[in-house]
Amino acid sequence: MSNAVVIGMQWGDEAKGKIVDYLSGNADLVVRYNGGNNAGHTVVIGEEVYKFHTVPVGILNEGVTAVIADGVVLDPAIVAEELRSLAPKGIGKEKIKISGNTHVLMPWHRLFDNLQETSKGSKKIGTTGRGIGPCYADKISRIGLRMSEFIDPARFKAKLHDILAVKNAIITKVYGGEPLDEAAIYAEYSEYAKELAPLVCDTAKLIFEAADSGKKIVFEGAHGSLLDIDHGTYPYVTSSHCVAGGASIGTGIGPTMIDKVIGITKAYSTRVGEGPFPTELFDEIGDKIRRQGNEFGTTTGRPRRCGWLDTVISRFTARANGTTGVALTLLDVLTGFDTIKVCAAYEIDGKITRDFPTDVEVLAKAKPVYEEMKGWSEDISECKRFEQLPEAARKYVKRVEQLIESPICVLGVGRRRDQSIILDHEIMTL
């Protein structure tokens, strides 16, 4: 067996897409297992920028089959559009498989996402507005629509009728809104169903048999560990299992079949949406990080909140995921700072701790205890080996590794596929 799960160690956008693309170079399967089109994963090959929301980014590598597994919530309109955008690149539908157990994201999910956010006012989560929470809520409440039902015209028609009777009552009576049009939805979504039907299969069997016969698999995690529904900064989280264990839950293969867990963390921190963020910077340093890192959301275009690296968080998420290696990405963005700070501990109610509190009220009181390190001014974006980095950058990486308590296996020094410094070739090769 040789497979790896790639997960975010912060609040998302850690450059999982770039690392998944690298690992997929000699993979057979690449598998999305959680979340939906709230994710935005970027890969830069030469001058071309590719952004994916549901289809796994590893598909760009030759010989790779992409799988959208059970744990995903799938917006058929978005997937149909992604399939159309791949066709001119010679990537056909036959390279993509979808589990019949995925839950289908429908117009009422997006509507409820936005109604709920608006009604929360200043207490809003800051969701991507893609309907993710309501779709997972329906799944957990056992009233959702699965892909296997969606692609069967008679079952879809009957289920749509039953679901809309309830949803329209809530829309009109609770929110005072206009009811959704059953016939129009059926007409539009039946077309997507026809388009996606040939891709639907038993993906758990496909993945098990691939793993069992020694094929190479990359599990492409979405979001970040602190957005995990159980282990993140609840309620300022998404609605899926973002930690590495999600790869087992969301695909139907056992945890003993997963070999490597590669955690991705930026060399600093970002967050999109609301919720506590102890090392957030509100000054010109934060602005400079946002500018140099081009920190604007891949999915919604929102400016990302920026701050120094928080190793209380990365140590916690290294443990929650059982990382076997850590990718420290966007190191080049820290070029040009006289000093760089790294959060080594928190002070909470006068006590120093390195343990991360997941209760947001406690986390909101955490004051970062910083270590200050010398910065560097040299351009590092074409460095290929660790020894080529300026001494200050090498010291930063080494100190971060000590604080995280998990080995760093790769450094990101630029957006392009080839702008990585591999420190541990064994972990980074499937």
- What is the set of active-site residues? 13, 41
Between CA 219 and CA 221 the distance in angstroms is 6
Question: C-beta of 235: minimal distance to ligand IMO in Å?
Answer: 9
Cβ closest to Mg ion, residue 8 vs residue 131? 8
Between CA 315 and CA 354 the distance in angstroms is 8
- Tell how many helices (H) and how many strands (E) occur in the chain: 13, 20
H helical segments located in 170-301: 182-196, 203-212, 246-249, 284-293
Question: C-beta of 128: minimal distance to ligand IMO in Å?
Answer: 3
- Binding residues for ligand IMO restricted to 185-244, rule: CB under 6 A: 222-224, 227, 238
Between CA 181 and CA 167 the distance in angstroms is 11
Total residues contacting ligand IMO by CB under 6 A comes to: 23
As a whole number of Å, the CA-based R_g of the chain is: 22
Between CA 226 and CA 8 the distance in angstroms is 9
Q: Site for ligand IMO (CB under 6 A): which residue of 39, 96, 217, 247?
A: 39
Q: What's the number of CA atoms in the CB half-sphere (13 Å) around residue 202?
A: 5
Q: Site for ligand GDP (CB under 6 A): which residue of 412, 421, 427, 430?
A: 412
The yes or no reply on residue 159 touching ligand IMO (CB under 6 A) is no
Between CA 183 and CA 169 the distance in angstroms is 17
The yes or no reply on residue 37 touching Mg ion (CB under 5 A) is no
Which of these ranges, 211-219, 275-283, 312-320, 412-420, lies near ligand GDP under the rule CB under 6 A?
412-420
Between CA 273 and CA 284 the distance in angstroms is 20
The yes or no reply on residue 126 touching ligand IMO (CB under 6 A) is yes
Q: Site for ligand GDP (CB under 6 A): which residue of 298, 311, 321, 323?
A: 298
Q: 108 contacts which partner out of Mg ion, ligand IMO, ligand GDP, none, CB within 5 to 8 A by kind?
A: none
Cβ closest to ligand GDP, residue 279 vs residue 298? 298
The yes or no reply on residue 8 touching ligand GDP (CB under 6 A) is yes
| Sheet containing strand 216-220, strands side by side | 200-201, 96-99, 65-68, 29-32, 216-220, 2-8, 260-266, 325-329, 408-412, 420-422
Between CA 141 and CA 170 the distance in angstroms is 16
Cβ closest to ligand IMO, residue 133 vs residue 392? 133
Give contact residues for ligand IMO (rule: CB under 6 A). 8, 11-13, 38-41, 125-128, 130, 132-133, 222-224, 227, 238, 272-273, 298
Interacting residues with ligand GDP (CB under 6 A):
8, 12-18, 40-42, 44, 298, 329-330, 332-333, 412-415, 419
